[in-house]
Structures are given as C-alpha cells and as structure tokens.
Homo-oligomer: A and B are copies of this chain.
Amino acid sequence: MKTYDFNQQYISKIEQEVALSTENVQVHYGKSHAIFDASLDFPRFQITSLIGASGSGKSTYLRCLNRMNDRIAQVDGKILYRNTDINSKTINVYEVRRHIGMVFQRPNPFAKSIRENILFALKNNGINDKKELQERLETSLRDAALWDEVKDDLDKSALALSGGQQQRLCIARSIAMHPDILLLDEPASALDPISTSKIEETLKLLSKSYTIIIVTHNMQQASRISDYTAFFHMGHIIEYNQTKNIFTAPEIKATEDYISGDFG
C-alpha cells in the first residue's frame, strides 16, 4: 500500500442547507487513533456516501454521528445538528438517535415477529393508534422492498428470514421511525441485486425528505445514488466533493488510485 501525505486533502464547501456537520472529530479506541480531525458538512435532503478501503474508519465515523460509539470509543470534537452540538455530554442521546436512524452492516432483527420488529420502537415512542401503526408497518416494509415476501407471515419470527430479508427488515424498521437523517453502514452488502436496486430506489425517494449518509464498498452504488462522496483513507477524510466530481475528476492522488483500482 502506498503512503500519502495526509495534509494534502480537498474538502469542498457545501452551498446548500446543512443538516449535520462535524468539526474536528477525533476517535480513539483505547490508545489507537481511528479518526483524525474529521470535519464535514452533510447537505440536507441529499445522499452522501462514505467510501474508502476496509479499515479506513468509515464505520467508526458513521457511528459517531448518532452517538453509537458512546460506550466503545472516545469521541472528541463537535457534531452539529440543528445548531446543537450533539456530541456534548448533556445531550439526550435517545432523542438524537430517534432523529438520526441507523442500519448496520450485519442484519440485527430482534428475536420477535416481523410485525413486532417494526412496531416495537414505535409503540415505545408513544404511537398507539392501531391504524397508524398498521399503516407505518406496511409502508415501511414496502419501502424496504420486503412487503411482498412477508405480508402473509407478519407474525413469523424475524430470525427465520434469510440474511438478505433480515437486512431489509432492519431498513424497514428504521424507516418506520420517520427519522430526519438515516445512516446506513453497507446496508446492501448482504443483498441481491434486485433487492439492492429496490433499496437504492427507496433511498433515492427518501432523500426527497430525508438526509441520507451511506457507507458503501460498491463504487457503482456510490456513483449511482449519492450526491456527495467522502473518501476515507486510514482514518483521514482525504477528499469530499460532489459525487460526479469525485468520480470523474478527483483532486487527490489517493482518491484517484482507489477509484481506478476499481473495475468499472
């Protein structure tokens, strides 16, 4: 692996309204430094993808954005959401996570029925209206391209689904909460192309009213769906720009190498 000069980076300014931004975020796992000085603005109602080699810190960074790293890692710096630094100690983290939903790399449905998986958090959130629940159940499953496959088995255990089905269920579960921002960590890495493209369509649709940040290994996916792309390299954000710029004319050598290492 080549080594690059990390001072050489290109972070473009966002012209649009910013939904979420980080300022000098540092992450340490114990003594090991995993994210260095990450400062990014995520534009509202856009899809931003985070790309980079395995181990470059994409997941780590993403998990900071809704405070999922709280107990695992030491996160310093500012994360601004609605003019509030949500990385501060006094913040209500539950409220943060309610507005900033997350879907993980490995599917993690609850050991409950499919229905309960979707409705559990909603009910906890005080939504008790039967009709509303039913409606959210159906639309979220539809949006995650799972409805047709499970509509007759809603009371079956979610654990009996295949890996791909489970992952789509997790996406549905997150969507059902109507979050403001949706974080996805390689959500499609376990999905077949049909489901993947459905999910991508969904994300595209959702981006009309949601801000979406997605980690992906799939260059095509990144270029196809995202408006902005950030390139991670060994814990540093090396380049951040509109996706079309990144993929057609990267400013930095490291980015170019990574993208052209790809197999278009």
Contact = CB atoms under 8 A, between A and B. Distances in A.
Interface of A: 1, 51-56, 59, 105-106, 148-149, 161-165, 168, 186, 189-197, 217-220, 224, 258, 261-263
Contacts of A149: 1, 55
27 contacts: A1-B149, A53-B164, A53-B192, A53-B194, A53-B195, A54-B162, A54-B190, A54-B192, A54-B195, A55-B149, A55-B164, A55-B165, A56-B192, A59-B163, A105-B163, A106-B106, A186-B190, A189-B189, A189-B190, A191-B217, A193-B258, A193-B261, A193-B262, A196-B217, A197-B261, A197-B262, A224-B263
A168 to B, nearest CB: 8
B217 A261 contact: no
Q: How many copies does the complex hold?
A: 2
A54 B54 CA distance: 24
A128 to B, nearest CB: 33
Nearest to A259: B193
Contacts of A258: 193-194
B54 A261 contact: no
A2 to B, nearest CB: 11
A258 B105 CA distance: 24
A69 to B, nearest CB: 14
A193 B219 contact: yes
List 5 tightest A-B contacts by C-beta distance, closest first.
Answer: A54-B164, A55-B162, A189-B189, A193-B262, A54-B192
